[in-house]
A = this chain, B = another copy of it.
Amino acid sequence: MADRRVIILEAATRMIAQAGVRGLRVERIAEAAGVSTALIYYHFTDRAGMLRETLAFIADRADRYTMPDPDSLDARTVLEQVLLRELQDTEDVRENSTAWGELRSTAIFEDYLRDPLRESTRQWIADITELTAKALAEQSPSPVPDASPVPDASPVPDASTADPAVTTASTADPAAIAERLTALVEGLSERWLSGSIPLTRAQHMLRDSIRIELSAAR
């Protein structure tokens, strides 16, 4: 028997991707999942609990389609594949990215989504930080900083007085590179999904940013 908890989360993701979070009722998800509303309340306590779990579920599910090819040997190619696979015109990427963007934008108005959103984002950045650190290690014989946990805040250097040619800590820090690249993925993904740019353009911009970030970190 399939796990009914997963079936509920899949139905919730699909419905959020189709029509958004706002106005989405537990009754309709129960109907789409073929379960009773009581079962949804049993597993998730309330609507907010279900949406929080859906956010984490979507983040986990993205690991499936962003997986690099098994024969990708160099870390740079792996990094590029994992990031670029967030921008694919397949049904599961569209559905997942649309639902993720919708929950993220709902979190601006609904406090209960903020903690799981922050946690899922932090986890994604941590994964990309690890791949970035490997790509940096590969391209440079000199030691690079370890992948450090994503800090909550850091002092803001005054760029106007700094020499722009100098490689600062942030330029070579895999965690900062990962944070910028994942934020760019989110911005480009939303432009693509809302019809402002074609997918090929979004992919092109992301590929160039990866190249520019890795070159700057040398």
Residues of A within 8 A of B (CB): 19-20, 22-23, 77, 80, 98, 101-102, 104-109, 113-114, 117-118, 121-122, 151-154, 156-157, 159-160, 162, 164-165, 168, 170-171, 176, 179-180, 182-188, 190-191, 193-198, 200-201, 203-205, 207-216
A198 touches B160 (CB 8 A): no
Known: A159-B211, A170-B208. A183 touches B187 (CB 8 A): yes
Dominant secondary structure of chain A at its interface with chain B: helix
Q: How far is the CA of A165 from the CA of B139 in the complex (A)?
A: 11
Contact of A201 among B153, B162, B209, B212 (CB under 8 A): B153
Question: Quick check: B183 and A191 within 8 Å, CB to CB?
Answer: yes
Min CB–CB distance A180 → chain B (angstroms): 5
- Copies of this chain held together in the complex: 2
Complex: how many Å from CA A160 to CA B210?
11
By a CB distance below 8 angstroms, the chain B residues around A104 are 190, 194
Indicate if the CB atoms of A156 and B207 lie closer than 8 Å: yes
- Cross-chain pairs A/B with CB under 8 angstroms, 17 sampled: A20-B106, A102-B105, A117-B195, A151-B201, A156-B203, A156-B207, A159-B208, A162-B211, A164-B211, A164-B215, A170-B204, A179-B201, A180-B184, A180-B208, A183-B188, A186-B187, A212-B216
Known: A154-B204, A159-B211, A164-B215. 12 other contacts (CB 8 A): A77-B160, A102-B108, A107-B195, A118-B196, A152-B197, A153-B201, A154-B200, A165-B215, A184-B184, A184-B187, A186-B187, A187-B187
